[in-house]
């Protein structure tokens, strides 16, 4: 039931797949990643892999050993992550100026656009927001009756909204 179009995965989805302290989110993240891998439609960026490595080895409690985190990064390299180059920087600047997103979020949206993704799964950006053809969905906000892989894109206006900083939220 996974889409045949590419789906961009933000850093936090990868982190939750490794975070045993969040079993519900971990199960959802693992199901998503497995389904997207099988469908061949998962996309990400070098930036997301950088953020994953840093956060998985330093912020997860307990953190992953560096060699385990690196194996994850190496495996996710099979998704052909979007590199950061000058054209991507220019696209990110356009996203930043138009929507008022942070620079790091703008780079993620630009990477999703560069890979032809209409859907970006992220907990960091506003659920339902649409940025120049990329709709953001928070897979952890699904209704009880909604199937995890059943993501349909719709038209939602983004507007200028303040967004939280990148990375996993701190626990209270």
Q: Tens of pLDDT along 120-164?
A: 999 999 999 999 999 999 999 864 444 444 443 333 333 333 444
For the cut 80, the answer to whether the pLDDT of residue 46 exceeds it is yes
In a domain, 107, yes or no: yes
Q: How far is CA 29 from CA 73, 83, 166, in A?
A: 16, 23, 18
Task: Categorize the per-residue pLDDT at 70 as very low, low, confident or very high, splitting at 50, 70 and 90.
Answer: very high
Distance between alpha carbon 171 and the CA centroid of its chain, in Å? 20
Q: In this structure, is residue 157 part of a structural domain? A: no
Tokens 């409690």 belong to which residue?
Answer: 61
Q: What is the residue range of 118's domain? A: 10-141
Closest Cα to residue 126, out of 162, 152, 151, 167? 162
- Residue 51 forms part of a structural domain: yes
Look at residue 169 and tell me if it is in a domain.
Answer: no
The angle, 0 to 180 degrees and rounded to 10, between the axes of the packed helices 11-18 and 66-76 is 130
Domain count, the chain: 1
Assign residue 45 the CATH number of its domain: 3.40.50.1010
Q: Answer with the residue of higher pLDDT: 167 or 87.
A: 87
Look at residue 48 and tell me if it is in a domain: yes
Q: Tell me, yes or no, whether 172 lies in a domain.
A: no
93 Cβ contact list (under 8 Å, min separation 6): 106
**Mean pLDDT for the chain overall:** 85
The contacts of residue 78 (CB under 8 Å, 6+ apart) are none
Whole-number Cα distances in Å, 2 to 25, 36, 43: 19, 7, 13
More confident residue, 148 or 86: 86
Residue 141 DSSP class = G
């Amino acid at each position: 039931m996974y889409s045949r179009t590419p789906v961009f995965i933000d850093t936090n989805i990868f982190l939750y797949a490794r975070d045993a302290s969040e079993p519900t989110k971990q199960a959802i993240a693992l199901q998503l990643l497995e389904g997207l891998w099988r469908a061949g439609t998962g996309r990400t960026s070098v930036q997301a892999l950088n953020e994953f490595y840093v956060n998985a080895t330093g912020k997860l409690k307990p953190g992953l050993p560096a060699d385990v985190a690196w194996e994850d990064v190496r495996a996710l390299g099979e998704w052909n992550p979007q590199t950061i180059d000058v054209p991507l920087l220019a696209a990110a600047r356009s996203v930043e100026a138009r929507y008022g997103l942070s620079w790091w979020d703008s780079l993620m949206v630009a990477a999703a656009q560069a890979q032809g993704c209409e859907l970006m799964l992220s907990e960091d950006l506003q659920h339902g927001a649409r940025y120049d053809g990329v709709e953001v969905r928070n897979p952890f906000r699904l209704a009880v009756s909604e199937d995890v892989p059943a993501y349909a894109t719709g038209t939602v206006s983004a507007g200028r909204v303040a967004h939280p900083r990148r990375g996993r939220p701190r626990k209270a």
